[in-house]
Amino acid sequence: MNGRLMAALAPALAAALLLAGCTQPLPQRSPVGEVADYEAVYKLDPEGHTLSAEVTARWAPAELDTFFFLLHRDLQVAEAGTERGAHGELLALAEGKSIPIRMRPHLPDTSWFDDGGHLALYALPVASTADTVALRFSYTGVIHDEVEVPEFSRWEIADETTGLIDERGAFLVPGTGYYPALPGAYHLSRFTTTIEHPDEWEALVEGNLLAREPGRARFDSAHPLDGSYLVAGPYVLSTREDSSFTVAMYHYGNDEQLAERYLDASANYLADYEELIGPYPFERFSVVENWFPTGYGMASYTLLGSQVLRLPFIIYTSLGHEVCHNWWGNGVLVDYERGNWCEGLTTYQADYRFKLERSAGEAKQYRLDLLRDYSDYVIRGDEQDFPLREFTSRTTAGTRTIGYGKAMMVFHMIERRIGTEEFESALRDLYYERRFRLTGWRHFFERFAEAEGTDLDWYERQWIDDDGAPMFEVANELVHHAGDGSGYLLEFDLRQVQDARPFRLDVPIRLHFASDSTAEHVLRDVNGETYHARVPAGARPVRFDVDPDFHVFRALDPAEAPPTLSGFYAADEPVVVLPTGGTQAMRDAYREFAEALFRRTDARYVREDSLELFDPGERSLLRFGNEHGARRVLETPEADGLSVRNSALALAWASRSADDPTVVNMQVWAASPHALDQLPRKLPHYGKYSYLAFSAGENVAKGQWPVTQSPLIVELPD
């Protein structure tokens, strides 16, 4: 590379890098320009793992005379230039580090300048003064990065590859660098894509199908997208025509019934969201089976691994979630520089809504589980809290808890504040107005504020720009006759005891009366470290609960959440208390059970009769054979009909330590040694429950203990 060209490139590159790190609003046009549209023909050769491409990119140069682009380093560029061939010499500037595969490929990321990755950065000098320059590229090469299981797999159902083409299929994503993309820039382009593939294959990208014949498919993205995802493979294509769209399933042809079920479910979800939010933005929706595990939602299609597709709950949960992303995320686009709101809203209008449709109880449980996750992973766990403004995508249980769970609760609290009808109509308006435009939290709060008639800047500051959550305490409660003789008045102090500054909140209160009836009340705009609450009541309340249904995103008191077995599994170096009573066979079986359960975890073993000498301190205990506790499990409604006389019965349950309520213990009881046979393998799948019953290794009852004692349940004196 000669010195003159280097000097010419430097300012533009610096600008691109600055853009990547900046938190200021993005300029209308980025310093590297924009690609208005791509018109491409991709030819896939599975045997040779080879991609051959002819691409025209219409570039709006933003006063630059150099087109910088990223491309997979193994693609040999045969041609790059303007349509008339007027261009300088193509320069390879750097070969960079892999950009991690994620749903949004153009997140600012400068790490590709490091060595060792799969992308190369090129500079193409272009002599043109036109507003838009048509650049033509042709290139070919091998793309084959073998699929790997990611490190973070606990929440992630996707295996990872930066892209590959082989006999099993082709998987090419924007991060692959299979088309010339601008570095560091976040912008939208339209894509017209032709895919040439083996005759026995099918292929697709986002958008509408223009033409399909053996060995060839042509698509139009229909709307601007922030990247294009290409999938192909030996698929059978099943379709269903609806009045306004086509539902398609690309599958491996070995389970027609499964395909039918997915077509039905997809059509139902699409109709459902059209009614809830607005028209589906494409002519077509596809469910695509994948030979390696994925759970991705692209615009107009979802890519689900073969095993994932066959998990019985996926059709009721993940499929709806991915369909909903066509409105939120792929319809209204996320301005990632200002925080990703789309996972929270999609979770709210899919996963959470499905629970709510089943019952209020399931919805409440879902909210409680979210708050518990926040307590477990962030407050008491070892993950850092952070503001929603900084959320882009989930990488850990903690980032998921905040980016999905807390964000969902931010929408939930607003809905309760302005009313469901206003909330849904605000979202419909926003969808209509912001489709295919980069959209931030701000746009939502503007809509909600309009519905409320006041500004919600404080709400956005508190929930999006700041981290943390309120934690409540009650003090100085008293009941007296109301001065005007109209009944009673309950007064108490509601304290916010978190380290962070106090939140402004609406807090639901439930009053209980001697007649067993209850009354709901909402404290509007609670504020300050101590808020003096006054709640009128017709009759004399005997008890009140603060936010008993978990409508507020807040830090739970440990006693508010029933203990679950996952609380025990999360413990460091638990203590196994080996029983000294009972038969030798039973004692051996309990010991073997513990050794199998802790095969991969450190545990301490101590005999029951020397536990006092041992002093377990804050460690969690695993104990055995407690008949009294076993009876408590069998008295729950879920365990109705189960009996200790069933010799195949085994029970497990969680309880809080009397000394330290943050410590969760586990107890196991079995009717016979063989009843424990399959338990060590099965138990870890049931972590969210407080108690479990198994008969011959099959789960026959599961549930959570009711919460009867909590600092936010306050009994009132007569």
- Binding residues for Zn ion, rule: CB under 5 A, are 343, 346
Indicate the residue among 109 and 156 with the shorter CB distance to Zn ion: 156
Q: Are strands 604-607 and 575-578 parallel, antiparallel or unpaired?
A: parallel
CB of 325 to Zn ion, least distance (A): 6
- Burial of 343 from C-beta contacts in 10 A (0-12 / 13-18 / 19+): buried
Residue 56 is inside which H or E element, if any? strand 50-60
- Burial of 659 from C-beta contacts in 10 A (0-12 / 13-18 / 19+): exposed
Indicate the residue among 155 and 614 with the shorter CB distance to Zn ion: 155
Indicate the residue among 346 and 667 with the shorter CB distance to Zn ion: 346
Indicate the residue among 82 and 346 with the shorter CB distance to Zn ion: 346
Indicate the residue among 226 and 343 with the shorter CB distance to Zn ion: 343
CB of 346 to Zn ion, least distance (A): 5
| Cβ count within 10 A of residue 646 | 16
- Burial of 276 from C-beta contacts in 10 A (0-12 / 13-18 / 19+): middle
What's the CA gap between 374 and 682, in Å, rounded? Answer: 26
Indicate the residue among 181 and 334 with the shorter CB distance to Zn ion: 334
Closest to 406 measured CA to CA, from 363, 448, 371: 371
What's the CA gap between 410 and 552, in Å, rounded? Answer: 9
Q: Residue 263 corresponds to which tokens in the numbers above?
A: 């077509």
CB of 303 to Zn ion, least distance (A): 13
Contact in structure between 9 and 93 (CB atoms under 8 Å):
yes
Closest to 64 measured CA to CA, from 4, 131, 1: 131
CB of 350 to Zn ion, least distance (A): 8
Indicate the residue among 346 and 375 with the shorter CB distance to Zn ion: 346
Closest to 632 measured CA to CA, from 647, 654, 661: 654
Specify the 3-state DSSP secondary structure of 213.
Answer: strand
Q: Are strands 621-624 and 575-578 parallel, antiparallel or unpaired?
A: parallel
What's the CA gap between 56 and 41, in Å, rounded? Answer: 9
Indicate the residue among 346 and 620 with the shorter CB distance to Zn ion: 346
CB of 319 to Zn ion, least distance (A): 12
Indicate the residue among 349 and 620 with the shorter CB distance to Zn ion: 349
Q: SS3 letters for 314-376?
A: HHHCHHHHHHHCCCEECCEEECHHHCCCHHHHHHHHHHHHHHHHHCHHHHHHHHHHHHHHHHH
Indicate the residue among 343 and 677 with the shorter CB distance to Zn ion: 343
CB of 588 to Zn ion, least distance (A): 48
CB of 237 to Zn ion, least distance (A): 25
Q: Which residues contact 47 (CB under 8 A, 6 or more apart)?
A: 167
Q: What is the DSSP annotation of 422-483? A: HHHHHHHHHHHHHTTSEE-HHHHHHHHHHHHTS--HHHHIIIIIS-----EEEEEEEEEE-T
Q: Where are the beta strands (DSSP E) in 226-300?
A: 230-233, 236-241, 246-251, 284-290, 295-298
What's the CA gap between 152 and 142, in Å, rounded? Answer: 28
Indicate the residue among 13 and 319 with the shorter CB distance to Zn ion: 319
CB of 134 to Zn ion, least distance (A): 36
What's the CA gap between 551 and 522, in Å, rounded? Answer: 11
Amino acid type, 517: S
CA distances in angstroms from 257 to 202, 238, 309, 464, listed in the order given: 20, 11, 12, 44
CB of 324 to Zn ion, least distance (A): 8
CB of 343 to Zn ion, least distance (A): 5
What's the CA gap between 288 and 302, in Å, rounded? Answer: 6
Indicate the residue among 90 and 397 with the shorter CB distance to Zn ion: 397
Indicate the residue among 300 and 665 with the shorter CB distance to Zn ion: 300
CB of 419 to Zn ion, least distance (A): 26
- Burial of 677 from C-beta contacts in 10 A (0-12 / 13-18 / 19+): buried
Indicate the residue among 16 and 410 with the shorter CB distance to Zn ion: 410
Q: Residue 602 corresponds to which tokens in the numbers above?
A: 């450190």
Q: What is the DSSP annotation of 154-181? A: SS----B-S-EEETTEEEE-GGGT-S-B
Indicate the residue among 178 and 296 with the shorter CB distance to Zn ion: 296
